[in-house]
A = this chain, B = another copy of it.
């Protein structure tokens, strides 16, 4: 038993909670070394089991990553929904909060975010991932709908487009500048950058800044 890890104690022949222990170990590995630093063998080592044990719980390495990404999307959805607060105190403020929550999630849970977006998992092989990802996007879309609905129908821009633009900018900022040490330094924080970008964008749609839409 030379692989017996120094980490969490082992109750006996059976681990008792190996599935969770593997997920935690994988998360720690990703956080430390990036998505490519994770290996099934190392996760097993940290959980104190043999290299074959993980295969009782996950079909292969990708399945473990997919499970992590799935939980990531679920927590992401929760975090976004909480920050949106059903549009309170007002849709614009709530929308800004949504943006901050997006970046906060990417910063505070880099391993989850990496598993969700920096890992090349084919969603077709994991339908639940597609569902979970759609649910997260649905928050953003709902927020965009509510924001757009503050305008009279004639001047109302398509909410889906707004949601896509905001998602792209948020993901772009998180991905390019999200980690403090990521090579590039900014004249402002990622949060400030995103907030400014969203406000400018919404302004031209007449959804921020107090004046009507451009035309």
What residues of chain A have their CB less than 8 Å away from a CB belonging to chain B?
34-36, 117-118, 120, 123-124, 130, 133, 158, 160-161, 164-165, 167-173, 175-177, 183, 186-188, 193, 196-197, 200-201, 203-205, 209-211, 214-215
Most B Cβ at <10 Å: residue of A130, A168, A203? A168
CB-contact partner of A204 in B164, B175, B214, under 8 A: B214
- Contacting A168 at CB < 8 Å: which of B197, B211, B214? B197
Instruction: Known A-B contacts: A118-B120, A169-B172, A172-B175. Give 6 more (CB < 8 A).
Output: A160-B187, A161-B187, A161-B193, A167-B176, A200-B201, A210-B215
For the complex, what is the distance from the CA of A81 to the CA of B161, rounded to whole Å? 29
Q: Report the Cα distance A175→B171, complex, angstroms.
A: 9
One of B169, B186, B214 near A211 (C-beta < 8 A):
B214
Could you pull out 12 A-B pairs where Cβ atoms are within 8 angstroms? A36-B36, A165-B193, A167-B172, A168-B173, A168-B177, A168-B197, A171-B175, A172-B175, A175-B175, A197-B201, A203-B204, A210-B215
| CB contact under 8 A between A209 and B200, given known A161-B193, A186-B164, A193-B165 | no
- A124 / chain B contacts, CB cutoff of 8 Å: 183
A201 to B161, CA, bound (A): 13
Q: Which of B161, B183, B203 contacts A214 (CB 8 A)?
A: B203
